[in-house]
Amino acid sequence: MLKTSPRAVRRSFVIAVLGLGLSACASSEQWAEWRSHSTHFASGDHMAFSLKNMGDTPRVKRQDQRNAAAQSWWGKPVIPRPDQVFED
């Protein structure tokens, strides 16, 4: 008989909530792009960059650009945020 620890239950709950959150936020276009790749990230560099830039202001270094080209990262090019262009 299998026993489920409280820790495992908590972990499952967190994963479920995260999954629900992601499904609520991502558009059909984003899901289509996600499905078009066999892995979640193109490389460790890609994952590190993504996790580092989960805020509102992506920080992009020259090396990130080179890595993106060399490792075929997917995603969208960064352009200015509206608050960099508009006052309100």
Partner 1 sequence: MRLARISIVGLALGVLASPVGAQRAFEEVVIPLLQYRTADTRVLADTYDADLRLLHADLRRCVPELDFNQPGIGFRKPRGKPQLAPHLSIWMIADQSVGPNGEDLATKAADAFQRYGRRLFRRLLARDSIGADPRMGGYGVVLTWMWTPPGEDLRGETLVVFVDGASAAGFVAGALGASALLDHADIRLFEGDVEQPGVRVSVNDAQVKEDTAEDCR
Name the residues that contact partner 1, by CB under 8 A: 22, 25-27, 29-30, 33-34, 37, 40-41, 46-47, 49-51, 53-58, 60-62, 64-66, 68-69, 73-88
Per-residue tokens: 25 = 């936020």
Which CB sits closer to partner 1, 7 or 88? 88
Q: Find the shortest distance in angstroms from Cβ 60 to partner 1.
A: 4
How far apart are alpha carbons 1 and 66 in whole angstroms? 52
* 3 state SS for 64-76: HHHHHHHHCCCCC
Q: Find the shortest distance in angstroms from Cβ 26 to partner 1.
A: 4
Which CB sits closer to partner 1, 12 or 65? 65
Please name the amino acid found at residue 25.
C
Other C-beta atoms closer than 10 Å to the C-beta of 12 total 11
Q: Find the shortest distance in angstroms from Cβ 8 to partner 1.
A: 23
DSSP state of 24: H
Q: Find the shortest distance in angstroms from Cβ 75 to partner 1.
A: 4
